[in-house]
Amino acid sequence: MEFEDIRYEIDGPAAVVTIDRPERYNAFRGRTVDELIKAFRLAWADKHVQAVILTGTGEKAFCTGGDVKQRAETGDYGPTESGMFEIGNLHKLIRDIPKPVIAAVNGVAVGGGHVLHVLCDVTIASETARFGQAGPRVGSFDAGFGSAYLARVVGEKKAREIWFFCRQYDAAEAERMGLVNAVVPPGELLKTAKAWAGEAAEKSPTALRFLKQSFNADTDHQAGLSNLAMSALDLFTASPEGLEGAQAFAEKRKPDFVSHVNWH
């Protein structure tokens, strides 16, 4: 299967899925999400794949979320196979695939890219990685898994800090708050992720499947919140306030959200 926005490779027991849009800091458009869904389904169906590694091209960015420049240009994230932006289905697939998903964060993981790594089962970070949210800064949000599940990972207070203030955190601080499992030198990142995948491959795949489903069961109710959030986001991104964030980002200026707010 040919891909344009990602790379899909098999390395021993691991499927390595790499977001390959370095010119956009590995931000995803509609096509990227479609291809990621295909890649995860391939990994699910392949009996030889025991774990999936999700990473980004280069050393600057793991993923910076939705392509805000694309949104500023066209008002959406570009054409897709179904005609819909399938990011909610990608989130569900990362959770549902009955194999461990390892995020190998090679650089900046912000916005929707931050949500992707949070949804992975474990995260290994390069010492140069940085984490944070950008949604409220560019007229976007994830009020589903990206916030509710994040609060389960780092606690309510820290999750609110991450979303309300859009700060960035280095890998060491991310490890201290429980956001990542391990921090390694940049040159060791993929090697370490593959070693972890190898360790998982030595375990009973049926046991790992049931364990993952058990962990997910505790937070599956958040899928309903995620559906609501995605519907709300569709409306919000087309609103004057949402469009202002994308346009300000593209024009490299400070957004004027206040004049667009309707408090009623």
> Helix H segments across the chain?
30-45, 68-74, 87-96, 112-119, 135-138, 150-154, 156-165, 171-176, 189-201, 205-217, 222-237, 240-250
The whole-number pLDDT of residue 101 equals 98
The 8-class DSSP code of residue 23 comes to: G
Closest among 100, 127, 122 to 207, alpha carbons compared: 100
Between the two ends of the chain, the Cα-to-Cα distance in Å is 50
Sign of the C-alpha dihedral computed for residues 112, 98, 36 and 223 taken in this order? negative
Cα(248)–Cα(69) distance, rounded to whole angstroms?
A: 10
Strands 168-170 and 130-132: antiparallel
Neighbours of 207 (CB within 10 A): 9
Is 110 part of any known ligand binding site? yes
Is 112 part of any known ligand binding site? yes
- pLDDT 10s digit of each residue in the chain, 264 long? 689 999 999 999 999 999 999 999 999 999 999 999 999 999 999 999 999 999 999 999 999 999 988 888 887 888 899 998 899 999 999 999 999 999 999 999 999 999 999 999 999 999 999 999 998 888 888 888 899 999 999 999 999 999 999 999 999 999 999 999 999 999 999 999 999 999 999 999 999 999 999 999 988 887 777 777 777 877 887 788 887 887 888 888 998 888 877 665
Is 111 part of any known ligand binding site? yes
The number of C-alpha atoms within 13 Å of 147 and in the hemisphere containing its C-beta is 21
The whole-number pLDDT of residue 264 equals 55
The whole-number pLDDT of residue 1 equals 63
Closest among 154, 193, 186, 168 to 54, alpha carbons compared: 193
Is 140 part of any known ligand binding site? yes
Q: 3-class SS at 61? A: strand
Using a cut of 0.85, tell me whether the model's pTM lies above it: yes
